[in-house]
Each structure stands twice: as C-alpha cells, then as structure tokens.
A and B are shown apart, each in its own frame.
Chain A
Amino acid sequence: MPLSNAKVADGTSAHPLQEGQTMVDSLTKVVACYRHLASCIGSSTDSASLRQELRQTRERAQKLALSCRNHLTARLRDKALSEEDRKETELQWVAFSSCLELFHADMCKVYHIGNCFSVAKNSAMVQTGMQGGATEVAARALSMPDLQEHSDVQTASMEGLDQSQLEQEIAQVDCTLEDMEMKVNVLRWTVEARGPQYADPVSADSASLALLSVDEDVSGSFCDRSQMFVVLLLCGVAVVAVVLSVCVVFLA
C-alpha cells in the first residue's frame, strides 16, 4: 500500500480507489498528530496555543473523516463493484473506522483532561519535563508549512465553549461510528491485511536517537561509545601535550 504524500490537495486522481486511499492516509496522519498533541495536554507544555492547535487539528480530522466516510460508503454500497476493488475498499474501510475509533478515544481523553486542567484558570499542570510545544506537529497535521502564533490568552468562557464543542464532536463521531456499522456491512473476518507484519525499520537518524536514549539498557553501549570517543580524544590531547613537553624539555 503506497503511502501517498501528506498533502490532500492533489487527491483528484481519477481512480476512486486511489482517492479513497489518499483520504484514509491523510486521516491517519492527522489522527497520529492529534495523539501527539493530546499527550501534551495537562503537562508542562499545556497552554492556550496547545488547545488552539488541538482544536484546529480536530476540525481538520472531522472534515477529512466526513469526506472519507461519504466516499467509502458510496463505494461500498455500490453493487457494481468488482471483487478486487471491493477488497481494497474494505481494507480502506477498516483502516478508516479504526482511525475514527482512535480519534474518538483521544477526544474523550482530551475532554476529560481538559476539564481537570484548565489553562484559563491557571490550574497546576503536571511537570512532565516537556519544554517545547507541539507546534510543529500541528503544522504537520494541518499540512501547513508554518503555523501562525496565536495569542496566549484564553479566557474561561472561551474554554468552556471549546469544551462544549468538543463534547458535541465526540457525540458526533459516536454517531458516525454507529452509522457506519449499520449502513455498511463489512465482515471483519474476511478482511485480510496485505502489508508486512513488521513495519520497515525506517533508516532514521539512529545516532542522534542513540545519544538521547540514555535510559535504555541497550543504550548503555551507545553511551560508552560516545564516552569512549571523548576519552580517546582527551587521551590523544594528553599524549600530544606530553610529547610537546618532552620536546620542550629536550630542546630547552
């Protein structure tokens, strides 16, 4: 299943299958970003801007979900769909509904935590060690290269409004999920995954990660490596210094 580009703008490919896939992929991306944002709520990086970003991401996800749902429902109810296409669409359907479930769970959590930790009322946030915001993540979600800074002020009323809106949206997603179950009958046991069992290890910057993951048992070796490097460097410097001093002594 080729992972298409993040931008949804070019989802105008003629092939509806491709279109559906693109939509599902972007929804997955947005949901993943939402999860990252949600993990910051109530923590030391919680702020008005975070809430703002959450809201924006949420709205985006809702829009995507709606279009995706319409598209997929229309496809699956179309009796004249070929077997192969149907299988593909069912896979997309499964992915879509799972996405929606994750999204629903995250929204519930955000709502709940948002009630306990209010930014406007300056309630004590948990000191989790997070420092930077998750602005970049939100930017990724919204597919915008740059996110303009929002005012840091969020009044209680705004927050209340936000919360109630969130509540509504949760209910909405709930309905959507139920509707989906009713309208389209996709048998879970007939859907087979096509991708690999193991995600391809992304050849990411392992070195930098290694330096940071000091706490892990495996990272012990990485730690040593960097330490050894430093030690060697020092030794080299020391040796050079000794040689120089010997030279000086001899020459002097």
Chain B
Amino acid sequence: MTIRNVRDHGQRYRPRMSCLKKMEAVVLEMQDPKTGVKSQTQRLVITTIPHAITGEDIVEWIANRFKIDAAEARAMGTMMVAFGYIYPLQDHKRLILKPDTSLYRFQTPYFWPAQQWPVEDTDYAIYLAKRNIRKKGLLELHEQEQYNNLHKWMNHKWDFIVMQAKEQYRAGKERKKPDRVVFDCQERAYWVVHRPPPGTISGMDCGLERMVDPNQEEKKTSEYFRRIIIFTQQCIMRPRVKSSVSIGALVKYTTTYKQHDPFLYPCLPSNPWLTDDVTYWHLNMPNVENPTKMRVERWTFSFGELLSDPRGRADFRLFLKKEFSGENLAFWEACEDLKWGAAATMQEKAQQIYKTFLARGAPRWINIDGKTMEITVKGLSHPHRYVLDAAQTHIYMLMKKDSYGRYLKSPVFKETQKKAVAPEAHKFSEAQLEQNAKKRRPSLSPIILRQQEEEQKAKLAASGPVDITQLCRYTAPVPHLAVYTGICENQTTASPGLMTLPNSAACPSPISVAIDSTPASERRFDSGPTSSHFPSIAESTEASVSEESQPPAAKSRVALSLSRLLRRGCNAPSVFASLSPKCAVTAGGGKVQPLGEPLAQPQPKRIANFFQIKVDIPPECRIYPIDSEDEEEESPGAARGGVKEIICPWETVTKHDGAG
C-alpha cells in the first residue's frame, strides 16, 4: 500500500537516462559467444561459477568494438559499471572498471536500471531486512540509518516487509548454492548502484524528472506540429540586437566594473574569504559612517547602484532632504515595500501610500502625470502588489534623470567622497594567516541583524516624514511643484519606514488635508450638494493635476482656514495650513496633532471605513461643510486630533461608473 502521489503531473521520466537503451544494446553484443567478451569461471572455495569476465578483457573489447583508445574504453566501461550493467566481484562498493585481472559479471536484466520504473523504497526495505536476517543484525552504518528511517516512514507496512523478507529468504534457500551466491551478489550490486553508500558518487544522478520519455520518438501528430509552429513563430518575434551592440554593452560593463570584482582585482584591505580578516566587511556595512572609496565610486556608475546600496541611498536621501524633494524617494521606497512585503498588510499599505503620496492634498504629494495617476487610482480599487508599478517607474525615471545628476554634483556627495576611506592592503605573513584562521568567529545571527534593521526603520519613521503641507501657512504653493519651501523644524529625515507603521504620523492629523473640506467647500460653492462630493474628486483626479478650477474655492478656504486658526489657535509647529487648494484647513479640529506623534486614533476603524461607499453624506461621514466640521469633530469616534479622512476616490469612480 504505497502512498501514491498523483499530483506529480506525470513527471516520471528521468532525463539523462536516455543512454540506458544504448547501453543495453552494447551489453547484449558483449554476450555473443563468438564476438563477445571472453568469459571465465570464478573459483570460490567449494564451487565454481561461470561467466566471469576480467576488466582488461572488457576494456579490450570496447576499444575494438568502437575503435577508441584504451583510456576512453576504460571510461566507458566505468560508466557501464556505474549504471549497474556489470558489477565487480571483488571490492563491490567501488563501481569502477579496473583494467586488470579483477573479475566482473553481467547483471541480470531484472536488475537493470530502467527508465520507467523508479527504484522503490519498499524493495530497499525488504532487501535490508533480508540482509539483516542473513548477517544476523550486522548492517552497515548507513544501511542501519536507512533501515530506521524506512521503518519510521513506512511503518504501516512494516509487518508486510518483514514477512516478505523472510519469505524471499526462504525461497532463496530453495535454490542451488552457487545460484544463491550469484543472486546475492546481483542483488547487492543492484543496491550499491541505486542506494550508494555515503561518499560514493552515484551514476544514477539524473536531476528533475520530466513529463516526457526521452527515449521515445515523438509521434508527429498535429499537436506536435502546432507546437513547432508556435515555437518558431516566437523565435521570429524575439527582439534582436546587433551583436556589435550587445558586445559593446558587455565590454562597457566589464571595463566599468572590473576593478570592483574581487575575482579580478584584490579587495581592499583584503578578501575575508582568503585571509580570514573581516575588516572588509566591517568597512562595508550597510550603515557605516564613512564608506570606502570603491563603494562611492560604484554609486557613480548608475542610479540603480546608488539605490541598491543602503549607504548610498541614505546619502541620496540626505541630498533630497536638502532639496526638499524627499517624497520621491520615500514614495519609491514605499512602493518597494509594497511589492516585497507581506500580503496581509498589502491593502493597508496601499491605502497609506495613496493617502500620503497620491491623493490630492496629500502631505507628501508626488508629481506624476495625469495618465499614470489615473491608471494607478483605478488600480488601487483592487490593490495588488504591483498596482503602483507604473507610478514607481515614473518616479524612478524622474529621480534618475533629474535628481541623480544633481546629486553627483552636489556638496553632499562631494563631502562623502572626501571623507571616504581608502584602506591599505593587508600584507599578512603565513603565520598571521594561520592566526587569523584560528580566530574565525561566526558573524551576527540573521535574526539579530533583522532586529537591528527593524529598530532603525522604526527610528527613521518616528523622526517623522517631510510633510509638504506643514509648510508656511501663508503661502500657497502650487501643489504640483515638487519643491516646497519652508520646511518646519520637526520634519527632519524622510522616513522610509513610513509605510511600515501605519499608525505613525503617516497621516498627520493636519491631514485634515481634508480633501473633504475641499469638496465640502466646493459643494458649497457648486450648485447644491450633489449626491456626493465625490464627483468633484473624481473629476479632479481625472483632470490634470493643476487645478484651475480650484482657485475660487481656495480663496474661500483660505479665509476659512484663517478664521479657524484664529479661532482655534493651533500649535505653531504643527500648523500646516498650506492653504494650498489641496490642503484644507487644519482640521478645524481643535488641537492639531503635531507630527511625529503616532496617531492614537482608532486607526483600524478608519481603515475599515476607508472603502465604505458613501452615498449621501451620512451623519458619521466626516465630510462636512467646514463650519459644522468643528462641532462634528468633537463627537466621539472622531479623532482626538480631528483628522479628516481622505476618502479614496475610487469609490466614486466605482459608484460613478457603476462598474467595479
């Protein structure tokens, strides 16, 4: 009762075994009494057994038959032994062909390796049990281990195995003695081939199993021709590059990188794998203060190099911070996190990213063109890992074409370059090398490393992101400008780890970026409340980013916000009031929550509400006309910080279009 795995999709053919058929033919040729290999008799103590052949005869025969030299014939003979067609009578564990008078014998066809029948563990178990009987419990170590394993694995048929072993043993005893010896030798040889003792190379190593039998000729049916046609069509359609171009690329790559390849040029100070001295690794840690000169040089090769090196990325982040365009990098990192992160938090992350970067009036709004924005927003209604791919690529190219060049000319980079370390090469003597080898220690456990990483991320996140809405309250920067002025003090480094802490200041209260207030006011100014404010949002997202339609509303909002401010006396640092049309007034909500404080609000509730389809303004909806907002804000359930929630517009789009 074998547990059959029926889900192997028919992959039972072992690919490199197509030589077996050919070998069988050769073995049969060797049998010929006239033209085959000379056979001798093996003399045992009391009996003789015929059909033994010497190694040198085999080699000679093969060399003659195939017209090859002795060395190659020997190799071929060894292959035959390794596959189990011939087995050695002495030294049975070493499956090689010795070109001397050592004796070999042909294996019976029953024990030949076969393409279509994989070797069963049940048979092996029975064999071991038989051997155990014969040798009275004296199995070799690896056999013992295997026996125990099989006993555990096939416990349910163990009684059967023991019984069968006994029966086979008894049946074997019925035979004549020489035949018994031969049979035992055959069986032993078979199992040496198929369950090689540890340390020996197995000739049966064949890789993954395939669905198609390689020995079989494929019938030329219409299916076959259809496949061939598709294959050739795809070959034709494949994009081609001139070899001069591709070779040129290779040459360029090698010239650029050759000095950085530890195989071609010596590492500085020394290659830890060769000298056991880990200075090199310490100098190249991800968060080292001063990177090495080689590392800095690598950053100049391409933007990808810069981004993939954590130290380089940190440097770039610093530069962007100085230029006040850190949101691009933050967005890019957030997208990476979404792509590579856990599936459970994907939806939340997508929402956070939208709220922080993409929504109108978002605190760290990034500049992508309308079409990409449209695609992204549409995709976000059914978020998946790669929903932000288009936007991410856009931002990446933006950074690459624009910021990267400036970075390389910037003082930040030049400073880093100046401070870069250029270590001297170590010159260890033999004795020192030995000492180094003795002092080898394992490096930090990956668990600890990961914890350190997480801590760092948390630190960065806690230090708050750059919030463009927290700028001068009296300026009205156009939202689609990537660069803002007047950052508040609090916002220091952008936080790449932003997205990992959904409850962090990702959505700073001032997020009262009330897109809600926008529509609210719009609603007020537009003709009567439409059934939902959403159309306005929908329109705005569809329209190009620069909103000409907003200014009139903006003014009123400015006024409103001012009044609000006066009324509420918000904390200075936390006021954002970028009376940009995007950013509404600080959530009139009483105290504005300063950035950096994690939102202690019922975030989950928000998220749960996030995608609620809001038809008419239900009472608990936070999208109220600004005046009444304040009162409503105080109601329970609203944030302590009176944060307005950005309602994702795809709800509208959904509703609006009537389709999903």
Using a CB–CB cutoff of 8 Å, the interface residues on chain A facing chain B are 1, 3, 25, 28-29, 31-33, 35-36, 38-45, 91, 93-95, 97-99, 101-102, 105, 108-109, 112-113, 116-117, 124-132, 134, 136-137, 139-141, 186, 188-189, 191-202, 204, 206, 208-209, 211-216, 218, 223, 226
Contacts and interface: CB of A to CB of B under 8 A. Distances in A.
A202 B45 contact: no
What are the 6 tightest A-B residue pairs by CB atom distance, in nearest-first order?
A42-B109, A193-B158, A32-B167, A127-B51, A136-B174, A95-B160
A32 B52 contact: no
A209 B134 contact: yes
Contacts of A28: 160, 163-164, 167
A194 B169 CA distance: 21
B531 interface: no
B344 to A, nearest CB: 32
B396 interface: no
B173 A204 contact: yes
A39 B110 contact: yes
Interface string B262-284: 00000000000000000000000
B117 A105 contact: yes
Interface stretch (B180-188, B203-211, B593-601, B641-649): B180-188
Interface in B165-194: 165-186
B111 interface: yes
B156 A127 contact: no
Given A95-B159, A126-B109, A129-B182, A208 B177 contact: yes
Interface string B129-144: 1101111111000000
B131 to A, nearest CB: 10
Contacts, number: 216
A136 B181 CA distance: 16
24 contacts: A28-B167, A29-B167, A39-B186, A43-B108, A44-B51, A95-B160, A99-B164, A117-B109, A126-B28, A126-B31, A127-B31, A129-B51, A131-B176, A132-B178, A132-B179, A139-B174, A195-B158, A200-B133, A201-B136, A204-B133, A204-B169, A206-B136, A211-B44, A218-B138
How many B residues touch the partner, as a band?
35 or more
Q: Which of B89, B92, B155 has the most CB of A within 10 A?
A: B155
B177 A202 contact: no
Contacts of A43: 108-110
B443 interface: no
B45 A226 contact: yes
A1 B163 contact: yes
Given A40-B108, A198-B132, A226-B45, A128 B186 contact: yes
A126 B108 contact: yes
B130 to A, nearest CB: 8
Contacts of B135: 201, 218
Contacts of A124: 28, 31-32
B203 to A, nearest CB: 19
B186 A97 contact: no
A186 B156 CA distance: 11
B50 A131 contact: yes
Given A3-B163, A195-B162, A226-B45, A130 B108 contact: yes
Nearest to B155: A193
Contacts of B138: 218
Interface of B: 1-3, 24, 27-28, 31-32, 39, 42, 44-47, 49-52, 89-90, 92, 105-111, 114, 117, 120, 122-123, 129-130, 132-138, 148, 151, 155-186
Contacts of B106: 126-129
A188 B156 contact: yes
A19 B28 CA distance: 47
Given A195-B162, A196-B162, A202-B133, A36 B172 contact: yes
Nearest to A196: B162
A141 B172 CA distance: 12
Nearest to B148: A197
Contacts of B182: 128-130
Contacts of B51: 44, 127-129
A127 B52 CA distance: 9
A172 B425 CA distance: 76
Contacts of B174: 136-137, 139-140
A91 B159 contact: yes
Given A99-B164, A128-B108, A128-B186, A36 B175 contact: yes
B416 to A, nearest CB: 62
A132 B122 CA distance: 28
B171 A29 contact: yes
Contact of B179 (A130, A198, A199): A130
A200 B186 CA distance: 24
A93 B160 CA distance: 10
A178 B605 CA distance: 55
Nearest to B89: A215
Contacts of A93: 1
B156 A132 contact: no
A36 B1 CA distance: 21
Given A41-B110, A186-B1, A188-B3, A132 B137 contact: no
A112 B116 CA distance: 11
Contacts of B108: 39-43, 126, 128, 130
B289 to A, nearest CB: 58
Given A113-B109, A193-B159, A223 B45 contact: yes
A201 B110 contact: no
Given A39-B108, A99-B164, A128-B108, A213 B137 contact: no
Nearest to B120: A105
Contacts of A141: 171
B2 A101 contact: yes
A1 B114 CA distance: 35
A200 B130 CA distance: 10
Nearest to B39: A127
B175 A137 contact: yes
Given A105-B120, A192-B155, 13 more contacts: A36-B172, A94-B157, A112-B114, A124-B28, A128-B51, A128-B106, A128-B186, A129-B42, A130-B108, A131-B50, A186-B1, A201-B136, A212-B45
Contacts of A91: 159
Contact of A202 (B92, B158, B169, B179): B169
Nearest to A211: B45
A216 to B, nearest CB: 8
Contacts of A140: 170-171, 174
B45 A214 contact: yes
A3 B162 CA distance: 11
Given A36-B171, A129-B52, A197 B158 contact: yes
Contact of B160 (A36, A99, A201, A211): A99
B150 to A, nearest CB: 10
B17 to A, nearest CB: 15
A208 B159 CA distance: 29
B110 A129 contact: no
Contacts of A36: 168, 171-172, 175, 183
Contacts of B162: 195-196, 198-199
Contacts of A209: 134
Contact of B44 (A101, A186, A214): A214
B113 to A, nearest CB: 12
Contacts of B110: 38-43, 109, 113
B566 to A, nearest CB: 76
A150 to B, nearest CB: 18
A103 to B, nearest CB: 11
B159 A195 contact: yes
A167 to B, nearest CB: 15
Contacts of B120: 105
Contacts of B90: 215
